[in-house]
Amino acid sequence: MNISRLVIATHNSGKLREFRSLLSNTDWEILGLRDLAIEQDYDETGTTFAENAALKARNYSLHTDLPVLGDDSGLEVVSLGRRPGVYSSRYAGPGAADIDRIRKLVQELQQAGGSRDARFVCALALAREGSVLLEAEGECRGVIINEPRGARGFGYDPVFCIPELGKTYAELTEDEKNRLSHRAAALGKLLSRMCL
């Protein structure tokens, strides 16, 4: 089965932009859920990134004949028992903005007073017509800083710092992010697992 169009199971324009950039050298036309006028939202009931990625891919692939790539990703902070984890985007409750979540995270970390080690995790699942065909997971390790830095990216990017570069995710160039990010790592593995 050769594919020419791939649907990313997201309504998040920042996430879609990252996938478009990561896949810019492929033959594929990359579509988001909005491009297909799919407005439905599914509850992310999984307890792991992999479960949620599979859930999104499976559910949205029932809305289209095209292959659908589900992505679930988030931040795990060691001293917070891996929170916010799968709740990364809901960490400060419904209706909260990125800056609210960042504030809550930094506050909790200051109270906890432990390690600032963290990792961004991305789980991907590729599905077609309700069945998951392929899965992959990638990570990027860093530390959480107190003061947000950088204007790029989204979510927790401004407080996630990669020590080797001395830059936050929000300060990375597009090329750097495409090379280093948890999403790039997961996507590289997924592509290399597509069988010939």
State the residues that interact with a second copy by CB under 8 A: 1-3, 23-28, 67, 126, 128, 133-134, 138, 173, 175-176, 178-179, 184-185, 187-189, 191-196
Query: Is the Cβ of residue 5 or residue 82 nearer to a second copy in the bound state?
Result: 5
Residue placing its CB nearer to a second copy in the complex, 54 or 105: 54
Between the CA of residue 9 and those of 33, 67, 84, 91, 140, what are the distances in Å? 6, 10, 22, 21, 22
Separation of alpha carbons 57 and 124, rounded Å: 9
Set 72, 100, 117, 175: catalytic member? 72
Q: Which is nearer to a second copy, 8 or 159 (CB)?
A: 8
> CA-CA distances (angstroms) from residue 138 to 59, 178, 182?
22, 13, 5
Q: Is 83 exposed, middle or buried (0-12, 13-18, 19+ CB in 10 A)?
A: middle
Name the minimum Å distance from CB 22 to a second copy: 9
Q: Which is nearer to a second copy, 50 or 86 (CB)?
A: 50
Query: Residue holding tokens 């692939």?
Result: 61
> Please, which residues have CB within 8 angstroms of residue 161's CB and are 6 or more apart in sequence?
142, 143, 144, 145, 149, 167, 168, 169
Closest separation in Å from C-beta 32 to a second copy: 18
Task: Give min distance, CB of 196 to a second copy, in A.
Answer: 5
- In the complex, the smallest distance separating the C-beta of residue 153 from a second copy, rounded to whole angstroms, is 16
User: Cα separation of 109 and 88, whole Å?
Assistant: 15
Phi, psi of 138 (to 5 degrees): -135, 160
Q: Does residue 72 carry a catalytic annotation?
A: yes
| Residues carrying an active site annotation | 72
